[in-house]
Structure 1
Amino acid sequence: MEGGDEWRALAFEAAVGRLCQLRHQLETRISARCRASWEDAHSSSLKPTDAEAAALSVFDDACESGSLFAFVTSDDGSESALPGALQACHGLFEFADQENSVVLTHGYDSLGKGAHSNVYRGTLCVTTVSGVTRYDAAVKINRLHMGSVAEVDRWMRLVQLWRLVKHPCLAYCYYVGLPPMEGDEEVISIYGAYEIMLGGTLDASLKREERFSEDVVRAILLDLLQALYYLHDELGVVHNDVKPQNILLVVDEATQQVRYKLADFDLLCPITFSSSEMVLSTGQILDGGRRDADELTYGTPPYMSFESCRGFPFLPKNDIWSVGILTYQLSTGRLPWSPLELCVPSMILHGHRQDSSNLFGPSLEEFEKDFCHVYSEELKDLVRICLADEASKRPTAAALLQHSFFCSSVR
């Protein structure tokens, strides 16, 4: 399927338009609730004070301008279960756009699940003037919790970015659609169709093999780093969730050669160059506070850099840190954290958020000399530079592709 297909462009535009409608509905809902709360609190005969009247005036101005960012807080949504009616259904699921020109179906054959999404093996049928075309696809259902305007804005950015992503080492998004709005739903489903890869995940492969040889690790990293180079340098975004579960295997039927594709773009974040330069030049997180306005946790704790844990999802060096953790895991068969930290991931988040002088961080004990397994110095060096304490000292994806660990030219 070509990325320039007209029907695909129209579908993405329609999805963004639907999200804009959702944003307006949510702002109207918040406005009504705030107005009602204010009126309830001032239902007595007492006149509002000058300060109260001024605050209400500011609120009304915000409503008229179409922005309520100052009056809402984020809700990252902790629920992961599908609605009851959907869980009870074991037949064929179908979603169609308003014109019935695009139809997604699946039979609940699960390919995976996340905190706020489920992925099934399914089909995508597209009707155009040329006829009907059917594609095998991974059907992903994301759940958008209507708790904040900022979250809806984040999804609008995501859908616009998904449309642009096109690289041989990245999973391709064919289609995104939203159902018609019906009332004041608290949770909205976002339906997507992605390139399907039946080779499974790198996580499943690692569990079978326990650890990989350096040749296999090298092949994985070559594909992964090319994907990150494209995201960072060409699209200007950070992936923010590099881990084995999000790397898919593609097996060429003729040659049996395995390629690796990075997937799951739900946490893509545009690189903010001014803020990135500030953090990278100082090597410090100023004020010890969070910098991301929507306060969403971007990533999976064992793979998150301390900058990411502190609310800086716009740094490309977050992905480089994840590459270091991933490389250690693929080579040794284990993550560089204690069993307790892995059982209680919040300990990693908390540890990274403390003053850096406490020496909290991953332990690369299997790289010590007295360990029975021998690792090359090039591999150990690659991991260590990726896990540099200061983001400014970590290499870029482009620089890593030139590292001595990769003894052959990039494919």
Structure 2
Amino acid sequence: MPTLVGTKLDKYEIQSEVGHGGMAVVYRGIDTVLSREVAIKVLHPHMAGREESRARLRREAITVAKLRHENILEIYDYSGESEAESYLVTEFIHGMTMREWLDTRWRPRPALAALIIHRLCAALGHAHKSGIVHRDIKPENVMIRSDGCLKLMDFGIAQIIDHQKLTMTGQLLGSPAYMAPELINGKPIDSRTDLFAVGVMLYQLATGELPFSGRNPHEVLARIAEAEYTRPSIICSLVDDELEAIIDRALAREPEQRYQTADDLVRDLERYLEEVGVTATQEEVTTYFTDPDRYVDQLDKRVCNALMTRAEGATRPATAPGRSACSAASSSSSATRSRPS
């Protein structure tokens, strides 16, 4: 696809190319009317040339533009179906993708993994309530703004492709590692498809490895179809039973056995984080991305202290009259979260 740098699309001056993928090329541009920096995502010709794709892009642009959430990239404008180039205009994010962060800065910690996924699930829950399924959740589609705010991207573009994620030449678009079994098998897709991909990311952030891997994409897809993966606690001993149970439920092969809504997963992550001494807020995420090494060192101490406090509470003799230490321990055990089925 010839570069559009130095040209103008309607009121947008194209300044530079900042990224490209299987669906679109992303440019940094200037809105000459409002004098603001924007990102312009121009569809590749093989996608924009199809009437169905252009019509679907329009529907999704209109729908996603109504979303207002601090962790969802905001859509400003859409080219329209009659323009020579089919494109979306969004806010421009100064920062890096989660993929880049994982490759260069990430130190796997289960609590930190739960914290980040909690924010993404909150954004997904907002979108799902509007009837929008992303279908392409992966680290490449999460931006980390320079101030530490996470931004989930590409709602508008992800849904213009076929559910098999195939191009006209039969090549897979993006990474197959985050695809849900029903996405591979051509079965009906709904919000639980996104939650499977979130489960893959949760596993990856907690352990530093992907749950489904292989020598080639077909081997990866086969393992996903069978839901075969190594238990996360084997990969990383820091992963406890509670988080492992959350991951297991998110990665269930059958959608009916997974979390049924993003809100359900959000609640379990909040309970888990509370138990390890972490507050599930964007501010907490921002603190991490502002100074990650210092944050992780302090996080290790916080988690250790929280777990010690829980252990002491579970073994402390009861003070209530007539209540035995055994019954107190039993009550403490029953108060802990059970493993999601």
TM-score (norm 2): 0.70
Q: Which residue number in structure 2 is paired with residue 325 of structure 1? A: 200
Q: Which residue number in structure 1 is paired with residue 67 of structure 2? A: 165
Q: Which residue number in structure 1 is paired with residue 29 of structure 2? A: 122
- Residue 134 of structure 1 aligns with an amino acid whose one-letter code is S
Residues 261/375 of structure 1: CA separation in 2 closer, same or farther (3 Å cut): same
Does the CA-based 8 Å contact 1:301-1:349 persist in structure 2? yes
Residues 148/248 of structure 1: CA separation in 2 closer, same or farther (3 Å cut): closer
Q: Which residue number in structure 2 is paired with residue 113 of structure 1? A: 20
Which of 149, 158, 166 in structure 2 is aligned with 1:267? 158
Residues 195/405 of structure 1: CA separation in 2 closer, same or farther (3 Å cut): same
1:399 aligned onto 2:264: yes
Distance 2:48 2:88 in 1: 19
Distance 2:113 2:158 in 1: 25
Q: Which residue number in structure 2 is paired with residue 239 of structure 1? A: 134
Residues 222/310 of structure 1: CA separation in 2 closer, same or farther (3 Å cut): same
- Residue 231 of structure 1 aligns with an amino acid whose one-letter code is A
Structure 2 stretches of 5 or more lacking a match?
Answer: 167-172, 282-341
Offset of 1:317 from its aligned partner?
0.6
Q: Which residue number in structure 2 is paired with residue 174 of structure 1? A: 76
**SS of alignment partner, residue 253 of structure 2:** coil
Q: Which residue number in structure 1 is paired with residue 116 of structure 2? A: 220
Does the CA-based 8 Å contact 2:109-2:238 persist in structure 1? no
Distance 1:198 1:337 in 2: 31
Q: Which residues in structure 2 correspond to 1:342-381 (within 5 Å)?
A: 344-349=216-221, 360-368=226-234, 373-381=237-245
**SS of alignment partner, residue 402 of structure 1:** helix
Q: Which residue number in structure 2 is paired with residue 76 of structure 1? A: none
Does the CA-based 8 Å contact 2:54-2:81 persist in structure 1? no
**SS of alignment partner, residue 169 of structure 1:** coil
Residues 159/179 of structure 1: CA separation in 2 closer, same or farther (3 Å cut): closer
1:385 aligned onto 2:249: yes
1:142 aligned onto 2:43: yes
- Residue 151 of structure 2 aligns with an amino acid whose one-letter code is K
Offset of 1:149 from its aligned partner?
4.7
Structure 1 stretches of 5 or more lacking a match?
Answer: 1-81, 97-102, 127-132, 182-187, 253-257, 270-291, 354-359
Offset of 1:225 from its aligned partner?
0.8
1:208 aligned onto 2:104: yes
Q: Which residue number in structure 1 is paired with residue 181 of structure 2? A: 306
Does the CA-based 8 Å contact 2:212-2:224 persist in structure 1? no
Residues 310/191 of structure 1: CA separation in 2 closer, same or farther (3 Å cut): same
**SS of alignment partner, residue 168 of structure 1:** coil
Residues 147/268 of structure 1: CA separation in 2 closer, same or farther (3 Å cut): closer
**SS of alignment partner, residue 406 of structure 1:** helix
Q: Which residues in structure 2 correspond to 1:183-198 (within 5 Å)?
A: 189-198=85-94
Residues 176/293 of structure 1: CA separation in 2 closer, same or farther (3 Å cut): closer
Residues 119/148 of structure 1: CA separation in 2 closer, same or farther (3 Å cut): closer
Distance 2:99 2:188 in 1: 24
**SS of alignment partner, residue 190 of structure 2:** coil
**CA RMSD across the alignment:** 2.8
Offset of 1:314 from its aligned partner?
3.3
- Residue 113 of structure 1 aligns with an amino acid whose one-letter code is H
Distance 2:59 2:174 in 1: 17
Residues 197/148 of structure 1: CA separation in 2 closer, same or farther (3 Å cut): closer
Distance 2:203 2:164 in 1: 29
Offset of 1:228 from its aligned partner?
0.8
Distance 1:238 1:113 in 2: 22
Deviations 1:219-274 (A, max 9, x none): 311210111110112x111111111110111233xxxxx221110121248xxxxx
Residues 402/366 of structure 1: CA separation in 2 closer, same or farther (3 Å cut): closer
Distance 2:163 2:52 in 1: 6
